[in-house]
Chain A
Amino acid sequence: MSDLLTYAYAVVRAAGGLQEAAAPLRGVADAPVGLVTDTGVVQLGLVVSHVPAQDFREDALKRHLEDLEWLEAVARAHHGVIEALAERTTVLPLRLATVYLDDQRAREVLSAGRTVFAERLARLSEHVEWGVKIYVEPSEVPAAPAVPAADLTPGRAYLRNRRQQQSVRDTVYQAAQKAAERVETAGRKHAADRVRHRVQQGFLAEAAGSAAGENVVNDAYLVPLNRCDDFLADVTRAADGLDGVRVEATGPWAPYSFAMPPGESGGTAEGAPP
């Protein structure tokens, strides 16, 4: 058995010059990237590179996935290849770590899915994905001026403070709700589709740096290229006049979240069973 496996990144339409565009790219494990093509009427290509079997066999993968550094390296390499190709052609990104025994197996899978891939590529053509996140930052809302508590018993003062804090929180969440509605309106107006991701929390969210505050909305929109400016303009205005609410847009992304129609992607955040 070969000690190399075929790692697949994305399905692309095999446009002219693509082979040349892929050639200088480096993928996972710093391996050169190539194109596996099928011979159908609609010529499609699978963007692949070769990875060491000892790292990508089942047991090894399972172990590696618990290793955040390893995962990050693979994720960034995967993304790097897709991003570079997305600048030249429509890509249909594959989920992370799709691995075949060899190129021939990859070609078979490509041929088997030809119709679906062609359909999907046609739909995603000239579209990009934008991420829109909404954060609330209750602490940034100026608290009501502190009334001297001298005339109150400590118990009453405590209760009043709590009530004030609570009301600030409520106000901020209502403001976030409003921002979310504005973003949705912008989406309906400009975007072709939307997917909800789970809200970001925990260590990685904190590691993202600027992302102070609590993430309450984490959506992805599929936006036609010629509507991006309008969409972003509307989205970035969504928090206007709302204290303690922050809207953050990321992108443009290759259409990761829309690669498959809802329900066929095997567990988007929204469709996942409880």
Chain B
Amino acid sequence: MITPGPPPEAERLPQRQVALIDLLDRLLTGGVVLTGDVVLSIADIDLVRVSLRALIVSISEQNPSPWTSTSPLRGDHDS
């Protein structure tokens, strides 16, 4: 059984409603990671329970790059 997934070109409206979960798959794990002045560092996104384990890290001398360090929220496995 097949779902006709992609709509034909003509139906590609800019505002077509995409499923939030597909969007979050991409926006939270994809994309270029640049060190912003305010950085959203997603340590462990748990889309399973929609509890977003999110951590915001500011760039400073003490904390130059959140991307190379291991996630401080690892081990947060309460369920």
**Is there contact, CB below 8 Å, between A79 and B29?**
no
| Nearest A residue (CB) for B52 | A65
List, in ascending order, chain A residues with CB within 8 A of B29's CB: 197, 257, 265, 267-269
**Is there contact, CB below 8 Å, between A99 and B38?**
yes
Instruction: Tell me whether B10 is interfacial, beta carbon within 8 Å.
Output: no
Instruction: Tell me whether A83 is interfacial, beta carbon within 8 Å.
Output: yes
**Is there contact, CB below 8 Å, between B34 and A94?**
yes
| Nearest A residue (CB) for B4 | A236
Question: In the complex the two chains form, what is the Cα distance from A259 to B1 in whole Å?
Answer: 32
List, in ascending order, chain A residues with CB within 8 A of B25's CB: 131, 197-198, 200, 218, 220, 257
Within 8 A of A (CB), among B29-57: 29-40, 42, 47-52, 54-57
List, in ascending order, chain A residues with CB within 8 A of B22's CB: 131, 208, 250
Question: How many residue pairs bridge A and B at CB < 8 Å?
Answer: 193
Mask of B8-26 contacts with A, CB within 8 angstroms, 1/0: 0000101100111111111
Using A95-B27, A256-B26 as known contacts, list a sample of 4 further A-B pairs with CB atoms less than 8 Å apart, ordered by residue number in A.
A218-B25, A236-B4, A247-B2, A256-B27
List, in ascending order, chain A residues with CB within 8 A of B72's CB: none
Instruction: Tell me whether A147 is interfacial, beta carbon within 8 Å.
Output: no
Within 8 A of B (CB), among A195-215: 195, 197-198, 200-205, 207-211
Interface size on A, residues (CB 8 A): 85
Instruction: Tell me whether A107 is interfacial, beta carbon within 8 Å.
Output: no
Instruction: Tell me whether A150 is interfacial, beta carbon within 8 Å.
Output: no
**Is there contact, CB below 8 Å, between A204 and B1?**
no
Instruction: Tell me whether A240 is interfacial, beta carbon within 8 Å.
Output: yes
Question: In the complex the two chains form, what is the Cα distance from A95 to B45 in whole Å?
Answer: 14
List, in ascending order, chain B residues with CB within 8 A of A273's CB: 70-71, 74
A248 with B3, Cβ < 8 A, contacts A101-B37, A220-B26 known: yes
Question: In the complex the two chains form, what is the Cα distance from A120 to B57 in whole Å?
Answer: 26
List, in ascending order, chain B residues with CB within 8 A of A240's CB: 2
Question: In the complex the two chains form, what is the Cα distance from A13 to B57 in whole Å?
Answer: 29
- Nearest-neighbour CB distance to chain B for A229, whole angstroms, equals 10
List, in ascending order, chain A residues with CB within 8 A of B48's CB: 201-202
**Is there contact, CB below 8 Å, between B50 and A246?**
no
**Is there contact, CB below 8 Å, between B50 and A98?**
no
**Is there contact, CB below 8 Å, between A256 and B20?**
no
List, in ascending order, chain B residues with CB within 8 A of A79's CB: 18, 23, 27
**Is there contact, CB below 8 Å, between B2 and A252?**
no
